[in-house]
Amino acid sequence: MKAVRAIAPLFVVAAVACSSSVAPRADVTLLVTNETCASGTCDSLELFLFPVAQPNTPGGLWHLDVGEITGPQTCFTLPGNSKFLIIGENADGSSDTSTVSWSNAQGIRLGTWPPHTPSLQALPSTQIFVPARAAGWSISLPSSKVATASKACTSRLAPN
């Protein structure tokens, strides 16, 4: 019984640490510096947002296509929320649909992939961050692992 009493407070601390008290925020921006730019030439990169809460599906990781990075820097407005539908079929032939919801008050990771290629194998490459914790973020991709809170960027591109 003593072990249970000693461990129980740890579960409470862990639960509080993992919970998010951040409210969703409109117009959160992300300034991406394209590290592939050299000698005036830049490789294009497709930017993906990977919600941390991933459903178990056979088709690769759930991701949102934020847009294409074609120059040295691109400013994106991150989506505020999204839904992922898992559509299945019951044994009796009726539909069975589950919905996984995400908002920018929940964690994400970022990843890049070559544009105009199938993205089923795309993977996140950054550490987790919660977009709604700041008005803006910045990161250099594809090698940086940490997005840094910053002021909102001004030349916004709408997400795809």
Tokens coding 84: 């992922």
What does the pLDDT read at residue 9? 41
CA-to-CA separations, 94 to 21, 83, 90, 126, in angstroms, rounded:
38, 22, 5, 40
pLDDT digits (tens, 9 = 90+) for 100-110: 999 999 999 99
Banded pLDDT at 96 (limits 50, 70, 90): confident
Calpha distance 81→147 (Å, rounded) = 19
For residue 118, pLDDT beyond 60: yes
Tokens coding 129: 């961050």
For residue 20, pLDDT beyond 70: no
Calpha distance 94→96 (Å, rounded) = 7
